[in-house]
Amino acid sequence: MTGLRVRHRGTVALDSVDLALGTGVHGLLGPNGAGKTSLIRVLATVARPSAGRVELLGRDTAGRRALGEVRARLGYLPQEFGYYPGFTVREFVAYVAWLKELPAAGTPAAVERAVARVGLADRADAKVRTLSGGMVRRLGVAQAIVNEPDLLLLDEPTAGLDPEQRVEFRELLRELGASATVVVSTHLVEDVAAACTEVTLLDAGRVAYRGTPGALAALGETSGGPGDHPVERGYTAALRAHRATEAPR
């Protein structure tokens, strides 16, 4: 994407964002209101930019035909996703597979695979309304990956997961990132440090930092800033550096 600009209710949510993402797991960090969710929504084709060019999976999303092709190849988990509480886990994931127009012959196997990958195989026949908050979040990941997407977008995917589940989720992210472009918006720097190949830090709608988690951690080691983790210290140092050099808009 180049020159991306997004306005939301009269406020500039993203401004002059240039970003190219390849195969791997890309972490999105930033304070509340930095523009992370706005960027995820544009990548998911849910929101349209006010200006700029967005190319996803080799297609310019300005065209209606291209939008349909891109949506069939992406997976998306928003911060809050809608579901039918009366469906079973299996039924809900199958319903999303149908919406994504997966071939009928391969859908049952795709559903079972997605449910198993998020650790819900033993709850496949349970009603969604009986699931805990963490299980519902894992269900959200399952529906996002049922079509084996080439572009996977996850907004705060580990919210509600316990530490053991987060470790398992990081392993899944690394597995998915081996062959797809995975974008994860999160406030948890441990997830970025453990699972991401690259990190983009947004601040007030602009890119404040982009690099590897290791480079961000190294920045934290030399900054002496606050934080219990090197990536946390690097996060603070990068924000300070960006704000010191950013020209007023």
* Mean confidence (pLDDT) of the chain: 91
pLDDT at 75 over 90: yes
Distance CA 196, CA 207 (A): 17
Distance CA 41, CA 14 (A): 12
- What the block records as the tokens of 132 is 């805990």
β-strand pairing of 59-60 with 55-56: antiparallel
Adjacent-strand bridge partners of 127: 88
Among candidate residues 222, 219, 151, the one with its CA nearest the CA of residue 189: 219
Distance CA 20, CA 142 (A): 26
pLDDT of residue 142: 97
pTM of the model: 0.92
State in words which class domain 1-73+157-162+179-249 has: alpha beta
pLDDT in tens, 110-127: 999 999 999 999 999 999
**pLDDT level of residue 248 (50, 70, 90 thresholds):** low
Q: Are residues 75 and 152 in contact, defined by beta-carbon separation less than 8 angstroms?
A: yes
pLDDT in tens, 38-58: 999 999 999 999 999 999 998
pLDDT of residue 220: 77
- What the block records as the tokens of 70 is 């891109």
pLDDT at 64 over 80: no
Residue spans per domain, the chain: 1-73+157-162+179-249
**pLDDT level of residue 161 (50, 70, 90 thresholds):** confident
Among candidate residues 180, 136, 176, the one with its CA nearest the CA of residue 160: 136
pLDDT at 249 over 60: no
